[in-house]
Amino acid sequence: MAEIAGVDEAGRGPLAGPVLAAAVILPDGWAPPGLDDSKKLSAAERRRLDAALRGRAIWALGAASVAEIDRINIREATHLAMRRAVAALGVVPDRVLIDGNALPGALPCPAEAIVGGDASVPQIAAASILAKVARDRIMARLDTRWPGFGWAANAGYGTRAHRDALARLGVTPHHRRSFRPIYHILCQESLVTH
């Protein structure tokens, strides 16, 4: 049977933190009960499924840093994280199915982009869970080092609390300087200091 890898990302939209991608090959005929798009699951359900997937599937994570996001843009950084996840699998899949409408270049096998794939393709749903849980853990760790932004709760997204904290505390090294709200804060700071 062909080995199909599903690929999805977490963290395209936040103002802070890396973008993560996961690549997952499920064992033939197996999927953990309750597998679904990570956005439709509670945090507890995602953690349960994450543990099940890590125990039985072939999987890998890939990331692109804030510096890479700022240097090459979020779309290209997402594709870079996806390529890194596929490369880290340890096996070359026969085919890669990627959530979304665009394919990263330089994949080692044929690939197909599937809009809404995280809700319709089990391998992509699995990847969405692994990427989301891993990124949430990263943001929770960063929250302990840079308290006040609420990253454990908001995962770096531009919530009202996060934006209020930016106004109070300023920009950290983990904020994406190429994203408009952060860019504007830095431009205002530059005007004040010059």
Q: Is residue 157 part of a domain?
A: no
Per-residue model confidence as pLDDT tens digits over 73-95: 999 999 999 999 999 999 999 99
Q: Is residue 69 part of a domain?
A: yes
Q: Is residue 163 part of a domain?
A: no
Please say if the pLDDT value at position 192 is more than 70: no
User: For residues 194 and 114, which has the higher predicted lDDT (pLDDT)?
Assistant: 114
Q: Is residue 23 part of a domain?
A: yes
Rounded CA gap, 175 and 181, in Å? Answer: 10
Give residue 188's pLDDT. Answer: 81
Q: What is the domain-level CATH number for residue 19?
A: 3.30.420.10
Per-residue model confidence as pLDDT tens digits over 33-53: 999 999 999 999 999 999 999
At residue 36, what are phi and psi to the nearest 5 degrees?
-160, 175
What are the E-state strand segments in 16-152?
Answer: 19-25, 58-64, 95-99, 111-114
DSSP 8-state class, residue 92: -
Q: Is residue 24 part of a domain?
A: yes
Q: Is residue 32 part of a domain?
A: yes
Q: How many domains does the chain have?
A: 1
Domain residues for 63? Answer: 4-144
Q: Is residue 165 part of a domain?
A: no
Q: Is residue 50 part of a domain?
A: yes
pTM of the entire predicted model: 0.95
Rounded CA gap, 154 and 149, in Å? Answer: 8
Per-residue model confidence as pLDDT tens digits over 20-36: 999 999 999 999 999 99
Please say if the pLDDT value at position 163 is more than 60: yes
